[in-house]
Amino acid sequence: MDDQDGKAIVNRDDAIPVIRIPSHADDAGIESSDSDATASGTRDKMRDKASGLKERLKDYGATAPSIQDRLFNGLMAQIIPPEELSENEDPSAERQKRPDRRSRTYVDRPNFSVSVMSGNFRRFNSRIGIVFVFQNRLIHLFTWRHPTATLSFLAIYTLLCLNPTLLPLIPLVATLFFVMLPSFLARHPPARNDSQLSPAHYGPPVAPPSRVRPAPELSKDFFRNMRDLQNCMEDFSRLHDLANEYITPYTNFSDEATSSTLYLVLFVLANTAFVASHLIPFQAIALVAGWTAVISGHPSAQRLLLTSSNLSQARHLVEGLQHWLRDWIDRDIVLDAPAEVRQVEIFELQRHHAGSDTWEAWLFSPSPFDPLSPSRIGGARAKGTQFFESVLAPPGWKWRDKKWSLDLWSREWVEGRLITGVEVETEGERWVYDVPDDVVETNGEGNVKQIKRKPVPKSGWEEGTGQEKRGLWRRRRWVRDVERVVVKVSTDQ
């Protein structure tokens, strides 16, 4: 995503903490691995004999990574330095090395590493199969692969819609029938291939307890999980792109009228729901919507709904609705908010020429360059441009007026800036003159303490007569209105 469109949603704060949960394997000093993927008794015996060897090799394995891991770590360290993944790190090295004492034992935030990423991916892929199994069963349920299961689900769903107080019963029943009962049957399996024995589930257990084991690496199940994970990533990417294409344009105010209409509708619905939500028959709505959604997934319903004639009619209906909504927005939604208007200022500076006793046009400056300004005290020169035409509007703004206007309220802007050591014209061309140094008495801090004489201000056409002495600079203020530039975004992107 470009910077102009927005920023990507990325965690720029601290890394996601890795929670260290104590387990029996950690207490026994045995590494968690995928070597227990099978329940072979021979494998268990070999594990006991090799425990001592694993203890000796564990430290060596942790300190001696493979050549591939070192190569990739070095390459990625050159491409993506780990310290650049976090923007809020303390620059102090001592602060970075200091551990988080509040969660030193249980929380770890490792930086990016190819070896850690590879190991976590393998462990994750070995254990993610249960999610794909659940997803596959949901697909079978809602596509009527097993009609009896789908009808049973609809019966339970109807019961919950009619009596919502039974919702807390769902996790309890699911735990009993999908966790506890299968575990019991695994320990008490019925007799097989023996017609003389009747099935019985009492007595001592005859089988070891069941465990959900990760898929062994490089096995068929491992690659099946990789296949399903690949497809899920593609599904998420497509859903993200579809949402960005069909939902974002209506909510990001690229079209002010459409987004304003949506905002108004949501605001009205929110207020209506706040006041009259108890009058809405949510149970009936949920019941009808659930049955409709499940029945629409039946193969016969799919063949009926997805015919070319029905799709064409639906497309024409949607297009007609969009045209009607577009016409209504253009006709009734009026965005009469004017553009933001501000006033900018510029100061015309002139310098006194002692030889000819005239005033020489000097600069148009953004500051008045008064006697006690920091730049003036520091000996810096006035900054600006020599011509009115060279004064540009601020970035993101444009001129609203055709020309500059002289500020006739010269005393107001002088007093507003607390400028001292100047003489103000209240008539004529509204020049603000520097007071000569020989008539200004200052204190030790450089502030004006007293003006020894207070001459009557003169208008511009009276200057140069030599009757009164002026300072080196004079200035007057010009103003002009600007309005903010409206950024137009193309919706075709």
Work out the pLDDT band at 439, boundaries 50, 70, 90.
low
* pLDDT, mean of residues 298-306: 89
Residue 329 has pLDDT above 60, yes or no: yes
pLDDT tens digits, residue range 213-239? 888 888 888 888 888 889 889 999 999
Q: What is the pLDDT of residue 196?
A: 62
Residue 13: its pLDDT value, please? 53
pLDDT band at 78 (very low <50, low <70, confident <90, very high): low
Ranked by mean pLDDT, the top range of 64-73, 293-302, 482-491 is: 293-302
Q: Which of 227, 199, 203 is nearest to 215 (CA)?
A: 227
Cα–Cα distances in angstroms (integers) from residue 198 to residues 181, 194, 201, 273, in the given order? 20, 8, 10, 60
What pLDDT, on a 0 to 100 scale, did the predictor assign at position 466?
Answer: 42
What pLDDT score does 348 carry? 92
Mean pLDDT of 269-290: 92
pLDDT at 488 over 90: no
Q: Who's near 382: CB < 8 A, 6+ residues apart?
A: 349, 362, 363, 365, 367, 369, 375
* Signed CA dihedral, 20, 21, 27, 29: sign only: negative
Q: How far apart are CA 242 and CA 230, in angstroms?
A: 19
Q: 139 Cβ partners below 8 Å, 6+ apart? A: 145
User: How large is the C-alpha radius of gyration of the chain?
Assistant: 40
Closest alpha carbon to 428 in 413, 454, 406: 406
449 compared with 315, residue with greater pLDDT = 315
Report pLDDT for 456: 39
What's the angle, vertex CA 321, arms to CA 317 and CA 326, rounded to 5?
150
CA distances from 19 to 23, 29, 106, 384, 448 (A): 12, 18, 6, 60, 67
Mean pLDDT, range 197-205, rounded to an integer: 66
Say how far apart CA 52 and CA 30 lie, in whole Å: 10
Q: Is the pLDDT of residue 84 over 60?
A: no
pLDDT in tens, 132-145: 888 888 988 999 99
Per-residue model confidence (pLDDT) at position 437: 65
Strand-pair category, 440-442 with 107-108: unpaired
Q: What SS3 state is found at 435?
A: coil
Give phi and psi for 471, each to the nearest 5: -80, -170
CA gap 487, 401 in Å, rounded:
20
Share of the chain above pLDDT 90, in %: 19
**Banded model confidence at residue 336, pLDDT cuts 50, 70, 90:** low
The CA distance from 215 to 174, in Å, is 24
Model-level pTM?
0.57
Question: If residue 346 lies in a helix (H) or strand (E), which one and from where to where?
Answer: strand 341-353
> Span 71-83, mean pLDDT?
59
CA distances from 251 to 258, 263, 285, 395, 398 (A): 8, 8, 27, 27, 28
Mark out the alpha helices in 220-307 (DSSP H runs). Answer: 220-246, 248-251, 256-276, 282-296, 299-305
Give the span between the Cα atoms of 106 and 445, in whole angstroms.
60
In sequence order, which residues have a C-beta less than 8 Å from that of residue 164 and are 6 or more positions away?
283
The per-residue pLDDT for 352 is 87
Spatial neighbors of 318 by CB under 8 A, at least 6 apart, are none
**pLDDT number for residue 215:** 87
pLDDT digits (tens, 9 = 90+) for 363-415: 999 989 888 888 888 888 888 888 888 888 888 898 888 889 999 988 999 98
Residues 281-286, mean pLDDT to the nearest whole number:
92
Phi, psi of 193 (to 5 degrees): 55, 35
Per-residue pLDDT, 62? 47
**Out of 11-15, 166-170, 365-369, 382-386, least confident range:** 11-15
Give me the chain's average pLDDT, please.
Answer: 76
CA distances from 121 to 113, 117, 243 (A): 12, 6, 28
Mean pLDDT lowest among 55-69, 243-257, 267-281, 428-442: 55-69
- State the average pLDDT over residues 440-457: 47
| Lowest mean pLDDT segment, chosen from 7-21, 104-118, 294-308 | 7-21
Its sign, for the CA torsion 372, 374, 380, 381, is: negative
Tokens of 167: 């919702």
* Tokens coding 194: 């023996």
How many H helices and E strands in the chain?
17, 11
Q: Packing angle between helix 308-332 and helix 256-276, nearest 10 degrees?
A: 90
Q: Indicate whether 490 pLDDT > 50.
A: yes
pLDDT of residue 201: 59
Backbone angles phi, psi at 13, to 5 degrees: -95, -160
DSSP code for 87 = S
Question: Which pLDDT tens digit goes with each residue over 23-65?
Answer: 555 554 444 444 444 444 555 555 555 555 555 555 445 455 5
Asked if residue 289 has pLDDT above 90, the reply is: yes
What is the model's pLDDT at position 418?
Answer: 87
pLDDT at 459: 38
Residue scoring higher pLDDT (69 or 83): 69
Which residue type occupies 264?
A: L
**How far is it, in rounded angstroms, from Cα 211 to Cα 90?**
45
Give residue 286's pLDDT band: very low, low, confident or very high (50, 70, 90).
very high
| Mean pLDDT, range 251-262, rounded to an integer | 86
- pLDDT for 382 equals 86
Amino acid at 478: W
